[in-house]
Structure 1
Amino acid sequence: MKRQAYQPILITDASRSQDDQLHSRQRRYIVMMSIRALCVVAGAILVGANAPLLWLWLPLCAVGMVLIPWLAVLLANDRPPKEEHRIGARLRRSHLDGTPPRSLSAEDRPHRVIDAEL
């Protein structure tokens, strides 16, 4: 019986490295906290300058000061989901492609029969 050819895993199917994921989450956190700092500074300037429509701009800045840190922490701790069954996902993918899975079932494997009577 002919053995099935090994199907290589494409590098494009590989997930991003842990360091790359961490750096992107850190950058996102820094950007969001910078926006929060801008909301604090803008709120202070608006109050100090006694700007027109202060009743509209001050609550918007306050919402930015409260919601953005909460979202920043949630997004900084968020990771892409791990594949639960990597082999199962490959098998499902190979069945969709029409190629047989790499391993053979017990019935299909070639086996040696030992007979006690010769």
Structure 2
Amino acid sequence: MPSTKPASRGFFPGNDEKHPVLITEAAESLEDQHRRRVRRYTMIMAFRIPCLVLAAVAYSLWENWVISLLIIGVSIPLPWIAVLIANDRPPRTKDEPSRWDGRKQAALEAGPHRAIEH
């Protein structure tokens, strides 16, 4: 017997039982974040190999070592940049709790302090 439920009006058309619920405010899973960061790292590091090949081709075409060194110089900071980008986390949201809000320090300083004199 066919289902009498109305068609889904969400992201996935059709029967709602076949599709997961789309939650738009849910944070990206840690696995997805890791996969995205690894992909960025790989893309940046993959750009380094063509730079080295391009430096060799430039030297063989123009026999100018300055151009080749400039191309190699561009590829030197790429591993550092790739690591920084890969280790970056998504930006904080306003709802995310702050690790330091200053309330505890204000409570500590508000009380009387006893000093020990010699």
Normalised-by-shorter TM-score class: 0.5 to 0.7
Query: Which residue does the alignment assign to 1:65?
Result: 75
1:29 corresponds to which of 30, 41, 47: 41
Query: Which residue does the alignment assign to 1:13?
Result: 25
Give the root-mean-square deviation of aligned CA atoms: 2.8
Distance 1:28 1:86, change over 3 A: closer
TM-score under structure 2 normalisation? 0.53
TM-score under structure 1 normalisation? 0.53
Query: Which residue does the alignment assign to 1:99?
Result: none
One-letter amino acid matched to 2:62: P
Matched pairs, number: 77
- Deviations 1:74-93 (Å, cap 9, x if unpaired)? 101111145585479xxxxx
Asked whether the equivalents of residues 56 and 68 of structure 2 are also in contact (C-alpha less than 8 Å), the reply is no
Moved over 4 A (4+): 82-85
What stretches of structure 1 of length at least 5 have no aligned partner? 1-9, 89-118
- Deviations 1:72-117 (Å, cap 9, x if unpaired)? 01101111145585479xxxxxxxxxxxxxxxxxxxxxxxxxxxxx
Asked whether the equivalents of residues 48 and 78 of structure 2 are also in contact (C-alpha less than 8 Å), the reply is yes
- Deviations 1:7-29 (Å, cap 9, x if unpaired)? xxx92111111111111111111
Q: Which one has a larger percent helix, Structure 1 or Structure 2?
A: 1
Higher relative contact order (CA 8 A, sep 6+): 1
For 1:87 and 1:77, the matched residues in 2 are separated by 21
1:74 corresponds to which of 84, 88, 92: 84
TM alignment of 1:49-64, pairs within 5 A: 49=60, 51-52=61-62, 54=64, 57-64=67-74
What stretches of structure 2 of length at least 5 have no aligned partner? 1-21, 99-118
